Structure 1
C-alpha cells in the first residue's frame, strides 16, 4: 500500500479529467473514497443501534422485541442488503449505468435513514427497506467505478487504489458507532438515526459535486435493455408485486400478520436463491466440462463462506445483545456505550490488514493455498464462539464481564476474516465460467446472504436460548469442525479447481 502513495507514483499519473491528483491517483478516487466512507458511516452507525433499539423497552423509547426476534430482524436485514447487490448490478448494466445508479442509491439510503428518525414503528420498517434497497444498488457499483478510473487493467496503481478505497470503508465503519452510537444510546434513538441520514446526505452531496472527475465509462450502460424486453420485465415485476401485496394484505386484514411472516420467507429465499443459481449454471450447456468442474469446486468455497458469515455477522446481533446485557460499560475507569464495540472490527482491520498482506508476500512459495486459508478462517471463527461460550459462562446471574472478552472475540474474528474474505473474492474470479464472470461475483455476495439467513433461522428457532452457553458451543464447534474437514478434504477440492491454485 505504501508504494502507491509515494511521490514517484504521483509523477506517473494521467488523471481522468486532467489537473490535480489524489495521492497520486485520479481525482475521481477521492470522490468515490468519500462517498463510500460516508455511506459506510451511515450504514454501520445505524447498524450499531439497530438491535439495541429493537430490543429496548418501550419505557426507554425502543420497540421491545424479544432478543431473538430483534437479532433475527437484524440478520434478515443484513442478508437482504447483500441479496439486492445482484439486481443492483443488473440495473446498472441494463438500465442506468453505474454513475446514475449510485446517485439514486445514495438518495434512497438517505431517505431510509430519515424515515428511521420518525418515531413510528411502520416508518421504521419502511426505512429499513429503503436502506436495504439503496445499499444493494450502491454496493454492486461503486467498486466497479473505482476500476473504471484505470482503463489499463495492468495499471500498477489499481491495487493501491482499491487499498485506499478499502481504508475509506473502514474509516467510516470505525467512526460511526463512536458518533452515531453515542448519540443514539445516550441522547435519543431517532436523533442517532437522523445523524446517519446526515452522513449519507454529505456523501451524496460530494458525490454529485465530484462526478465530473469520474471516468466517462461510469456513465455508460453496458448492455441497454430493449423496449420489448423492458415491457416484458415490467409485466413480470408488476405480477409479483401485486401478488405479494394481495397475499400480505389478506394476512394483515385477517389479523394474522406478525414479523415472522416477513422473516421466515426472506430467510428461506436467501437459502434457495443461491441453490437455484448454482443449479442453473451447472446445467448450462454453454459451459465446458472444465468450467463445470470448477463451479463444483467453487460450491465448496461458497458453503464454507456461508458458514463463516453465519457466525461473523452475528457481531451486530448476538454480540451486541451480549454487550448490552452482560458486559460492563467501563474499562480502567473509562465508561462507554455498548455500541462502541462495533468499532473494534474496522479498527483491527486497519491495524492488521497491511501485516497480513505482507505476510502472504513474504511466505512466497510457502504461502498457504486458498483451501488452507479458508480452513483457517473457519477454524478461527469457530474458536471465537468458543471464547463467547466462556464469556457467557462467566456472566452468571447479574454479573457483567469485562469488555476484554469481546475485545478478544472481535480480534479473533478479524484475523479469521483476513484469512478468508479477500481470498474468497480472488478465487471467485478465478473459478467463474467466462459466461458467468459477473454473476459469480454476485454469488459471492449471496454467501453472506445465506450465512445471515441461516443465523436468522437459528435465532427464530432457538428463541432467547441463542444467547446460551450451549448455543455458542454448538455453533462454534460445528464451524471449527467444518474448517478441519475442509482442511482434510482440500485435495478433492483442489482437483476440481483444475489449473487454478
Structure 2
C-alpha cells in the first residue's frame, strides 16, 4: 500500500473515469475510509490483544482468568451490540460522516483513559472504546457504499475488498506494536499507543472528508424536536434508575463487579433473541419472507456457537499462552500478544485462495451450498478446540506447550472463519425481508454478541474455560451443531426458497 493514488484507466462514461484522482481506480474517498478503518482497527485490536493479559498480570489488575475472560467477553459483546444504536444514531441524528468523526474522538478518549495509571478509570475507558466502536462500526461501511453509484457499479465489490484489507492490515500490525510496548515496557504506554493510532485515523479522516460522497452528510430519517425531547427524557430516566440502583447496592455493601457484568451479559443474550423474535412475529411479512426468517434462525444460532468459540482466541487461548506455552520459535522469544497477529495475516493470505476456489468450483458445477459452507465452518471451529486439548494435556503434565500448537489452532479457526463469516454476511443480505433490509446487517452482528455473552455468563458462573472438560464440551457442541445443519440441509434449503 505504499503507492495509493493512480489515474483511473477505465473507459469514458464509467464512474470515476477521466482525469479524476483515484485510489487504485476507485473513488478517492476510499483512501480516506481505508486509512480511517486501518488506524481504528490498529487501536482496537492492539488494545484487545493487551486487555486479557493486563487483567491477569501482577503488574496489571491481577485478576483471575475467569474474571478476565468475563470482562473481555462482555466488552466484545457490547461492541457488536452497540453497532445497532450506532446505526440508528447516524440515521436519525447526525448522519454517517459526523457520527464516525464523533466515534473516533470517543475511541481516542477511551484509550487515553485506559492509559491513565489508575485502576479506578479503567472501566470508564473500556466503556468509551465500546461506545465509540459501536458508533463507528456500521457507519464507516455505509460510507464506503456511498462512494459508488448504485449496486451496479462494477467497482463496488472490489472497493469493499480493498477496505477489508485495511481492516486486516491494522489488525495485523497492532499486536506487534502495541502488544510489544504494553507487555515489554509499560501496559499504559501500550494503551497510549492505541490512542495515538486512533488520533492518526481521526486526523486523516477530517482532512480527507472532502473526498467523501455528499450522501454521507445526509441524515436519512431525522428526528423531530418532539422525538428528540422524548428520547432524551427516556434516556435520562433509565440513567437515573441505574444510578439509584447501583448507589443502593454500593451503599449496602453488596456491590461486586458481577453486579455490572452479569446484567450486561444477560442483555447481550436477550437483545438478539428479542430482535429476531420481533422480526419473525411481524405480521406484515409475506409467506416467503417468514419462511426465509425461519431458515435464518438456523444460521443465526449456528453463528452464535461459532463466535462463542472463535472469540476465545483472544481470551482463553491468550491466557493459556501466557501461563502454559513456550512462546518462542527456534529459541527466539516473542510477546504473547503477537499470537493475535496470526489470524489477520492468515486472512490476507487465504481469502484470495478461497475466493478463487469458490469461483473454480462454481464453474465446474461443484461449489458447496451456503448450508454446507456454514456447516464446515462450525465443524472446523469445533476441530480447533479438539486440537486445543493437546496443549492443555501437555500443560497438565507440567510442561510448556510449543507455540506451534497455538498457531495451528488459529490456522484451523481462520479456515473456519473464511468458510462461515463471508457466507453469513452474504446470506444475511439475501434473506433479509424488504422491510428490514437496512437493519439485518446489525442483526448478523448480534450473533457475535450472543456468542460472547454466553462466554461471559459461563465465566461469571466460575467455569474454567481452560479446563479440558469444558473445552471438549464446546468442541463437541460446535461439531454437533455443524452436523445438525448438514443433516437438516434439505429442510433449511426448502425454507430458504430460491436463495442459494
Give SS of 1:155's match.
Answer: coil
- Which residue does 1:366 correspond to in 2? 366
TM-score scaled by length of structure 2: 0.96
**Distance of 1:332 and 1:253 partners within structure 2:** 55
**Distance of 2:137 and 2:17 partners within structure 1:** 23
Structure 1 residue 15 displacement after superposition:
4.2
Give SS of 1:153's match.
Answer: coil
**Distance of 2:347 and 2:181 partners within structure 1:** 25
**Distance of 1:435 and 1:141 partners within structure 2:** 20
**Distance of 2:76 and 2:150 partners within structure 1:** 35
Match of 1:142 among 140, 143, 158: 140
**Distance of 1:11 and 1:131 partners within structure 2:** 44
**Distance of 1:151 and 1:229 partners within structure 2:** 32
- Which residue does 1:296 correspond to in 2? 294
Q: Give the 5 Å matches for 1:10-21.
A: 14-15=15-16, 19-21=20-22
Q: Give the 5 Å matches for 1:404-419.
A: 404-419=404-419
**Distance of 1:261 and 1:496 partners within structure 2:** 41
Give SS of 1:484's match.
Answer: helix
Give SS of 1:408's match.
Answer: helix
- Which residue does 2:31 correspond to in 1? 30
Give SS of 2:326's match.
Answer: coil
Query: Cα gap change, 1:239/1:193 in structure 2, threshold over 3 Å: closer, same or farther?
Result: same
Structure 1 residue 93 displacement after superposition:
0.5
Query: Cα gap change, 1:457/1:208 in structure 2, threshold over 3 Å: closer, same or farther?
Result: same
Does residue 467 (structure 1) correspond to residue 466 (structure 2)? The answer is yes
Structure 1 residue 456 displacement after superposition:
1.1
- Which residue does 1:49 correspond to in 2? 50
Query: Cα gap change, 1:472/1:26 in structure 2, threshold over 3 Å: closer, same or farther?
Result: same
Does residue 195 (structure 1) correspond to residue 196 (structure 2)? The answer is no
Residues 84-130 of structure 1: per-residue CA shift (max 9 Å, x gap): 00000000001000000000000000000000000111211100000
Query: Cα gap change, 1:68/1:17 in structure 2, threshold over 3 Å: closer, same or farther?
Result: farther
Contact 1:10 1:21 (8 Å CA) reproduced: no
**Distance of 1:433 and 1:27 partners within structure 2:** 33
**Distance of 2:7 and 2:230 partners within structure 1:** 54
**Distance of 2:476 and 2:465 partners within structure 1:** 15
- Which residue does 1:96 correspond to in 2? 94
In structure 1, the gaps of 5 or more residues are none
Structure 1 residue 294 displacement after superposition:
0.8
**Distance of 1:62 and 1:305 partners within structure 2:** 33
Residues 372-391 of structure 1: per-residue CA shift (max 9 Å, x gap): 11100000000000000111
Residues 175-205 of structure 1: per-residue CA shift (max 9 Å, x gap): 0000000000000000000000000000000
Q: Give the 5 Å matches for 1:51-90.
A: 51-57=52-58, 61-90=59-88
**Distance of 1:386 and 1:427 partners within structure 2:** 28
User: Which consecutive aligned stretches of 4+ in structure 1 deviate over 3 angstroms post-superposition?
Assistant: 5-19
- Which residue does 1:158 correspond to in 2? 156
Contact 1:390 1:469 (8 Å CA) reproduced: no
Structure 1 residue 253 displacement after superposition:
1.7
Residues 392-435 of structure 1: per-residue CA shift (max 9 Å, x gap): 00112541111000000000000000000001011111111111
Contact 1:380 1:416 (8 Å CA) reproduced: yes
Q: Give the 5 Å matches for 1:264-343.
A: 264-343=262-341
- Which residue does 1:393 correspond to in 2? 393
